[in-house]
Chain A
Amino acid sequence: DVKVTQSSRYLVKRTGEKVFLECVQDMDHENMFWYRQDPGLGLRLIYFSYDVKMKEKGDIPEGYSVSREKKERFSLILESASTNQTSMYLCASSLSPYSTGMLQPQHFGDGTRLSIL
Chain B
Amino acid sequence: QKEVEQNSGPLSVPEGAIASLNCTYSDRGSQSFFWYRQYSGKSPELIMFIYSNGDKEDGRFTAQLNKASQYVSLLIRDSQPSDSATYLCAVINGGSQGNLIFGKGTKLSVKP
Chain A interface residues toward B at CB < 8 A: 30-31, 33, 40-43, 45, 48, 50, 58, 90, 94-98, 102-111
B14 interface residue, CB < 8 Å from A? no
Cross-chain contact of B42 among A33, A94, A110 (Cβ < 8 A): A110
Contact (A97, B98) CB under 8 Å given A102-B51, A103-B32, A105-B34: yes
Contact A110 B43 (CB under 8 A): yes
CA distance A53 to B88 in the complex (A): 30
B76 on interface, CB distance cutoff 8 Å: no
Q: Decide if B43 touches A104 in the complex (CB within 8 Å).
A: no
Shortest C-beta distance, B30 to chain A (Å), equals: 10
* Contact indicator A109/B102 (Cβ below 8 Å): no
Contact across chains for A105 and B102 when beta carbons are under 8 A apart = no
Closest-CB distance, B32 to chain A (whole angstroms): 4
- Please list 22 pairs of residues, one from A and one from B, whose beta carbons are closer than 8 Å in the complex, sorted by A's number: A30-B97, A31-B97, A31-B98, A33-B99, A42-B102, A42-B105, A43-B44, A58-B99, A90-B44, A96-B98, A97-B98, A98-B97, A102-B51, A103-B51, A103-B98, A104-B98, A105-B46, A105-B49, A106-B46, A106-B90, A106-B98, A106-B100
B56 sits at the interface (CB 8 A): no
Complex CA–CA separation, A15 to B88 (angstroms): 32
Query: Which A residues touch B42, using CB under 8 A?
Result: 110-111
Asked if B92 lies at the interface with its beta carbon under 8 angstroms from chain A, I say yes
Name the 3 nearest CB pairs between A and B, nearest first. A42-B104, A103-B32, A108-B43
CB distance from A19 to the nearest CB of B (A): 19
Q: Is the CB of B98 within 8 A of A94?
A: yes
Question: Cβ of A58: which chain B residues have Cβ within 8 Å of it?
Answer: 99
- How many angstroms from the CA of A1 to the CA of B14 in the assembled complex? 33
CA separation between A56 and B62, bound complex, in Å? 35
Query: Per-residue CB proximity of B68-112 to A under 8 Å, as 1/0?
Result: 000000000000000000001010100001111011110000000
Output the nearest chain B residue to A109 by Cβ-Cβ distance: B43
In the assembled complex, how far is the CB of residue B2 from the closest CB belonging to chain A, in whole angstroms? Answer: 11
Q: Which residues of A contact B105 (CB under 8 A)?
A: 42
